[in-house]
Structure 1
Amino acid sequence: MVICLFASLAHADGLAEPKGPVILTISGAITQTNGPNVARFDREMLEALERRIITANTPWFDAKHDFEGPLAAAVLDAVGAQGSTMRVFALNDYASDVPVADVREFPVIFATHLDGEMMSVREKGPLFLIYPFDEFPALFNEVYFGRSVWQIARIEVIE
């Protein structure tokens, strides 16, 4: 009976287990996990976090589009991120270092939807890091374009 109680308390302190296919894995300097030294998210878990729509022009599309998804800061808060940098990896292992300060200063999102439709891998999904380019025009430059990773599969939080 005592063992069950301790197991229940340990689970209550950690991140919930994904019920569907894992689309994002976060490792590194994090305090909340649901696997061996990792936090795994399915789509439902990401959809439950604080969300935002960013309407913006980007260099990757010909017109202004609506990007919707969880705030990157909410994702970092969910895993108890303790680092200063996110190394964001795409499905093809392309990686970019994104300062955590970016997601604390600006409402950056991990877009899961483009114009109301779920983003497929073909459409730069399942996750696409999007800055609010139109809201903060100073972000519309090569530095932030390079940090805007699409087809995100995993993140390593670095101290």
Structure 2
Amino acid sequence: MIASLARLRALATAVLVLLAASAAPAGAAGLELVWIDRSGAEQARRTLSTDEAEALGAVEIATSTPWTQGVVRFSGPTLAALAALEGGEVVEARLQALNDYSIDVPAEDWAAYDVVLASRADGARMRVRDRGPFWLVYPLDSDPALQTQRYHARMIWQVRRIAFVVDGP
């Protein structure tokens, strides 16, 4: 009986911790941005709050996704705008989520499409439980070529870190 109560208390504590984390302001810890060369040596580093990221100029795209109902208006800075915050030719972005899932996105993607690091969906800030605070969104409805597993896999949510790979100085 005592062991069962201890397990119940531990479970209740875990639930409270999860609820508190999901109630924290979106982007409270910030978005970590680093610029690295091809060997992995760090060239620059910044941390942006959600407000600072949005102040870079929000772009809005309206698209459906496999994970949402109907067309959603996503807004946030483009990946290109974030990559351009430091010098050098960025050739790739390595995005990492809160759960350590990571994906590499070639610069060709954001050169061809308005790939947005969305912080808002239908005007509301995205919380962690809503795939926030940042979700990399492709304008899937704008081009049938984007309706593939390759691009769906690159639409990483709960982004916490982006490492921009720079070619040359």
TM-score above 0.5: yes
Structure 2, gaps ≥5 residues long: 1-26, 38-42
- Larger Rg belongs to: 2
Query: Partner residue of 1:28?
Result: 35
1:146 aligned onto 2:142: no
Q: Tell me how far 1:29 sits from its aligned partner.
A: 2.7
CA contact (8 A) 2:36 2:44 kept: no
SS of match in other structure, 2:140: coil
Normalised TM-score (structure 1): 0.78
* 1:69-120 deviation per Cα after TM superposition (whole angstroms, max 9, x unaligned): 1111111112335331111000011000100111122111001001111000
Does the 8 A contact of 2:134 with 2:158 survive in 1? yes
Matches within 5 A, 1:43-122: 43-80=50-87, 82-122=89-129
Distance 1:131 1:22 in 2: 24
Structure 1 residues without counterparts, runs of 5 or longer? 1-19, 31-35
State the 1:44 CA deviation: 1.8
The size of the alignment, in residue pairs, is 135
Aligned position for 2:141: 134
SS of residue paired to 2:30:
strand
Counterpart Cα distance in 1 of 2:70 and 2:91: 33
Q: Is the 8 A contact 1:85 1:97 kept in 2?
A: yes
Q: How far apart, in 1, do the equivalents of 2:85 and 2:127 lie? A: 24
Q: Structure 2: how far apart are the matches of 1:70 and 1:88?
A: 15
Look up the equivalent residue of 2:129 and give its one-letter code: R
Indicate the SS of the match to 2:84: helix
Contact 1:54 1:68 in 2 (8 A): yes
Aligned letter for 1:64? V
**Alpha carbon RMSD of aligned pairs, Å?**
1.9
Structure 1 residues 102 and 130: CA distance shift in structure 2, 3 A: same
- Other structure's SS at 1:126 match: coil
Q: Following the alignment from structure 2 to structure 1, what is the Cα–Cα distance between the partners of residues 34 and 101?
A: 17
Alpha carbons of structure 1 residues 71 and 150: separation in structure 2 relative to 1, 3 Å:
same
